[in-house]
Amino acid sequence: MTQFKQVGLIGRLHSPAVIETLHRVIACLNRCECNVWVDECIAGSLDSSQLTSTSYGVGDRHFLGQQCDLVIVVGGDGSMLSAARVMATYGVPVIGINRGKLGFLTDIAPDQVEASIEAVLAGEFETSNRFMLSAHVLRNGEEIGRGSGLNDIVLHPGKSARMLAYDLSIDGTAVYFDRADGLIIATPTGSTAYALSAGGPIMHPGLHAIALVPMNPHNLSSRPLVVAADAELEILIGEDNSTQPIISCDGQVHIVCEPGDRVHIQRHEARLKVLHPLGHHFYDRCRSKLGWHARASDDGQ
């Protein structure tokens, strides 16, 4: 008997490959006698003749978070990030089927859909708990925006090509003043995303740490900095900026800032539970996704 009876489905829009995989997932859930709940954004794209589950319903993502005890995401890492910010607040575990490009978070291959889902429903899975970051933007002491990110919180100049000036403080202590194209604050989950392309360190998902990665800093001594996950960060956006900086959360939620705004960033109270097939190894994924090579062994030696 599976512990997951109420299963939600979320998928990337406008993708025939995603729709085809969703139909396979629904058929598999039908065979396992699970109740299926579909994100309203994709429900209209599904073939109604395929929806023959014992119980089938449609709702928004908050409804799925309240109703389901497992959510399956079909798409790329962006689809998983979007779903994660909601499901983490409800404590609902997620599992990802990769129909995107890199697929660090959506780690089930399309040709392994049925076998992997059946194994998870049978209790054969591994669990990783991922923390998120929260950002609050204050203007003259009043909050003007907030957001959360599983991968990262990024300060950047938007469409402008000009550098940003900012002051960084950690736990109330001034760290440095810098001019740069921006600053990436990344979780271990996000260390293999945008932060990696900016020269940041790769961190194992199990670490309780945050990476701060300046983007093309004017000060050549500015280097990526790794701090404890419970650190409280504050970014003061310089008064002399001629750009209108933006705070982006996972590249999906954007808060327009002004010179003089203060951005408070810390670990989010919610955590995301990600389920993986048995035998999942982070370093294996690094090798396959990042093109790392292992020394070939002869006769097992």
Is 3.40.50.10330 the CATH number for 6-125+277-290?
yes
* Residue range(s) in the chain whose domain bears CATH number 3.40.50.10330: 6-125+277-290
Is 55:36 a contact under the CB 8 Å cutoff? Answer: yes
Count of Cβ atoms closer than 10 Å to residue 65 Cβ: 19
In the predicted structure, residue 62 carries a pLDDT above the cut 50: yes
Is 135:153 a contact under the CB 8 Å cutoff? Answer: yes
Q: pLDDT confidence of 301, banded at 50, 70, 90?
A: very low
Please identify every residue annotated as catalytic.
77
Burial code (b: 16+ CB inside 10 Å, e: under 16) for 202-218 equals ebebeeebbbbbbbebe
Indicate the pTM of the whole model.
Answer: 0.91
135-139, 159-163, 183-187, 229-233: which range is least confident on average?
159-163
In the predicted structure, residue 241 carries a pLDDT above the cut 90: no
User: For the chain, what is the radius of gyration of the CA atoms?
Assistant: 21
In the predicted structure, residue 228 carries a pLDDT above the cut 90: yes
Using N-to-C axis directions, what is the helix angle for 16-31 and 113-121, rounded to 10°?
40
Q: Say how many CA atoms lie within 13 Å of 188 toward its Cβ.
A: 17
**What is each CA distance from 294 to 39, 283, 291, in whole angstroms?**
41, 11, 10
In the predicted structure, residue 63 carries a pLDDT above the cut 90: yes
Q: What is the pLDDT of residues 11-40, one digit of tens each?
A: 998 899 999 999 999 999 999 999 999 999
Top mean pLDDT of 59-68, 273-282, 292-301 is at: 59-68
Strand ranges inside the chain, DSSP E: 6-11, 35-39, 56-59, 70-75, 94-98, 126-139, 142-149, 152-156, 164-170, 173-180, 182-186, 209-215, 225-228, 233-237, 246-249, 253-256, 262-276
- The percent of residues in the chain predicted with pLDDT above 70, rounded, is 94
Fold assignment, 133-269: Tumour Suppressor Smad4 (2.60.200)
Q: What is the pLDDT of residues 176-201, one digit of tens each?
A: 999 999 999 999 999 999 999 999 99
Residue type, 232: E
Q: What is the pLDDT of residues 200-214, one digit of tens each?
A: 999 999 999 999 999
* Residue range(s) in the chain whose domain bears CATH number 2.60.200.30: 133-269
Is 107:82 a contact under the CB 8 Å cutoff? Answer: no
| Residue 93, token pair as written in the block | 């575990």
Q: Where are the alpha helices (DSSP H) in 5-112?
A: 16-31, 40-43, 61-67, 77-90
